[in-house]
Amino acid sequence: MFMSLSISLRRLASALLPGLPTVLAVFSSCMLFGLFLAVQGKPAWQALQLVGEGAFGSWFALENTLQRAAPLMLTALCVALPARA
């Protein structure tokens, strides 16, 4: 029983580990942005909420976000594919 739990925890950790730097980067950038807003005396949570609503709040906002992000994603793909070869 304990051995199978240990193996499943190892599998879970190995599956989540590759995405950890991305999650930490997004979290730390949000915290840094919130700190900057707090120093300025602005409500940080309200600003982050407005950023989220502006990017993903409606179908039009989501389409606009994807339309603006598509060239960046394609550029990243064009850099990543030759780098792996």
What is the pTM assigned to this prediction? Answer: 0.56
Q: What's at 9, amino acid-wise?
A: L
Sequence ranges of the domains in the chain: 1-42, 43-85
Long-range contacts of 11-16 (CB under 8 A, 24+ apart): none
If pLDDT is split at 50, 70 and 90, which confidence band does 40 have?
very high
Task: Report the pLDDT averaged over residues 15-22.
Answer: 83
**Does the CA dihedral 38-42-46-52 come out positive or negative?**
negative
DSSP notation for 51-66: HHHHHHSSHHHHHHHH
Average pLDDT rounded to a whole number, residues 31-58: 90
